[in-house]
Amino acid sequence: MEETQRQKKIAGIIQKDLADILQRAATDGGLKGTLISVSKVSVTVDLSLAKVYVSIFPNKGAKELLEGIKENQVAIRYELAQRTKHQLRRVPELNFYLDDSLEYIEGIEKSLKREENPIENRDLLDKRKKS
């Protein structure tokens, strides 16, 4: 089912503000060389739940950083509510997921540069994880 205009608008607002909140928290927390971006936000039809896909670069400590984000979910949602109080009546519940699309693309590029051809032999590429 396609998203409504309202869902898209709310997802855009959440994406923009969350990217700023997460990046500021990372730099304040001492992670100067880490780039955190919100690659996608999808909101349910009843606007009660938002799936937030986070891309972290460099991705060596991405899993630990994502766990830290999940642990501080209440504080992040409160900060988001303060920023969007004139735009949103209620802030949806936030579920954070790691966006692995950059790793997936990198794996394809590495495979294409080698002698093996992943198009002919599909077993060379890892299967993409669905979340």
Mean pLDDT over each residue of the chain, to the nearest integer: 84
Q: Is residue 125 part of a domain?
A: no
Structure tokens, 106: 């990198």
Mean pLDDT of 35-47: 91
Would 62 be classed as within a structural domain? Answer: yes
pTM score, whole prediction: 0.76
Inside any domain, residue 42: yes
How many domains is the chain built from?
A: 1
Supply φ then ψ for residue 57, to 5 degrees.
Answer: -130, 130
pLDDT tens, position by position, 9-23: 999 999 999 999 998
- In terms of residue numbers, what domain contains 77? 5-115
User: What whole-number distance in Å separates Cα of residue 108 and Cα of residue 117?
Assistant: 10
CATH number at residue 46: 3.30.300.20
